[in-house]
């Protein structure tokens, strides 16, 4: 079919035709393939898919079970500090507690420290949008027009840095780990940088440009629940201070579930901890700042290793096992129906 032009009655100029081009694609002349679904091809697909899913599921479950992990709940063990933190007027009072535990076997390899929270809902819509991405990129944001309210400005008009509910509720317990070796106490060296995603650290979060960090945040104030301003989150390392602080970046990536864990530190493999954490007695020294009693929450400290498939969560492996089992069972059901119908067809043919 060739393109033609048409002339409408009463018009002297020709109008281009709206017919499609004479091409194989537009004229629907492309070669097509229609699969023939035979009983052999259908059953092969089900059984092969089931075998693949079962194999992957077994590998994932075995991998997850090989993870070494120890979890310590300190919600009740630090009850005195918990009661102190329930009164908001005590926000500037320090409270510390210690928790002893024992490793019966060595934890070899890289060891990661997490903090875990229960019954803390970060997936509420108003909570998730309460932030200013422009502010977190170091720009001059009009936070009064953002979703940060009511944590955007103070009554005197001073803007909060960072603003929003997510930042204001940041987890701020300080956790140190000590190894009790013979009669000496050795502090386990922990790495507090390199824990966040590269894209977050280098793309999504930036500090305002200035000759020093304190002047960059001049004219702003810390969020109400913070004990120190954002430019003092890490006074020892300027590359881990302000909006690019790893603890802050990790907290700002909200969780989809009410029970979650965030990476807090990594054990530095030096001296006594070159191969990981040796068996023995350990102590967590915790500076308790984050209250959880009012929303019936719990707090944990987790020491864990990781494998090629991630942490100790077996959910993905179980999902593969269930999918593979369902595929194979479906294949057997189809096989039974096919044999039954074929037997009935043969019977009627003989009659």
Rounded Cα distance between 288 and 285, Å, is 9
Mean pLDDT, the chain, integer: 89
Alpha-carbon gap, residue 284 to 74, rounded angstroms: 10
The predicted model gives 68-78 an average pLDDT of 90
The per-residue pLDDT for 349 is 62
Lowest mean pLDDT among 13-22, 127-136, 229-238, 314-323: 13-22
Distance (Å, whole) CA 92 – CA 347 = 88
**How far apart (Å, rounded) are the C-alpha atoms in residues 107 and 312?**
14
Is 340 within 8 Å of 41 (Cβ atoms)? no
Residue pair 307/63 in contact (Cβ under 8 Å)? The answer is yes
**Residue range 116-145, pLDDT digits in tens:** 999 999 999 999 999 999 999 988 877 777
Name which of 322, 191, 323, 326 is nearest 268 in CA terms.
191
In the numeric block, which tokens belong to residue 209? 């440009």
291 in Cβ contact with 85 (< 8 Å): yes
Residue 263: the pLDDT is 96
Least confident range of 9-13, 289-293, 337-341: 9-13
Q: Tell me how far the alpha carbon of residue 208 is from its chain's centroid.
A: 26
Q: Which of 317, 316, 318, 324 is nearest to 48 (CA)?
A: 324
For residue range 176-222, list pLDDT tens digits in order. 999 998 889 999 999 999 999 999 999 999 999 888 888 989 889 99
Q: What percent of the chain has pLDDT over 90?
A: 60
Given this model, what pLDDT does residue 319 score? 96
In this prediction, residues 298-316 reach a mean pLDDT of: 90
Would the pTM of this model clear 0.85, i.e. be above it?
no
Let me know: does 148 contact 132? Beta carbons within 8 Å: yes
* Residue of higher predicted confidence among 351 and 279: 279
81-102 pLDDT, tens digit per residue, is: 888 888 777 777 889 999 999 9
């Amino acid at each position: 079919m060739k393109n033609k032009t048409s002339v409408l009655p009463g018009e002297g100029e020709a109008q281009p035709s709206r017919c499609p081009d004479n091409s194989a694609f537009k004229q629907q002349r492309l070669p097509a393939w229609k699969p023939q679904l035979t009983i052999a091809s259908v059953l092969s697909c089900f059984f092969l898919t089931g075998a693949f899913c079962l194999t992957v599921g077994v590998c994932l479950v075995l991998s997850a079970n090989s993870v070494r992990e120890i979890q310590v709940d300190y919600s009740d063990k630090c009850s005195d500090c918990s009661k102190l933190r329930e009164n908001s007027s005590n926000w500037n009072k320090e409270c510390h507690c210690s928790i002893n535990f024992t490793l019966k076997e060595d934890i070899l390899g890289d060891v990661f420290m997490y903090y875990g929270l229960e019954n803390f809902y970060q997936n509420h819509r108003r909570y998730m949008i309460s932030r200013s991405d422009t502010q977190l990129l170091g720009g001059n944001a009009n936070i009064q027009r953002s979703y940060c309210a009511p944590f955007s400005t103070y009554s005197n008009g001073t803007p909060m840095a960072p603003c929003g509910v997510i930042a204001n509720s940041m987890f701020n317990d300080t956790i140190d780990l000590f190894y009790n070796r013979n009669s000496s106490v050795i502090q386990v060296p922990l790495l507090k940088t390199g824990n966040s995603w590269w894209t977050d650290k280098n793309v999504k979060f930036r500090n305002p440009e200035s000759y020093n960090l304190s002047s960059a945040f001049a004219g702003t104030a810390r969020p109400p629940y913070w004990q120190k301003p954002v430019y003092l989150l890490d006074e020892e390392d300027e590359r881990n201070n302000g909006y690019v602080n790893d603890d802050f970046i990790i907290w700002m990536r909200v969780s989809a579930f009410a029970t979650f864990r965030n990476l807090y530190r990594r054990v530095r493999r030096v001296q006594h901890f070159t191969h990981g954490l040796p068996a023995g007695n350990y102590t967590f020294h915790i500076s308790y700042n984050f209250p959880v009693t009012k929303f019936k929450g719990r707090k944990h400290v987790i020491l864990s290793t990781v494998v090629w498939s991630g942490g100790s969560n077996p959910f993905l492996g179980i999902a593969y096992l269930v999918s593979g089992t369902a595929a194979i069972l479906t294949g057997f059901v189809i096989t039974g129906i096919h044999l039954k119908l074929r037997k009935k067809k043969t019977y009627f043919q003989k009659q």
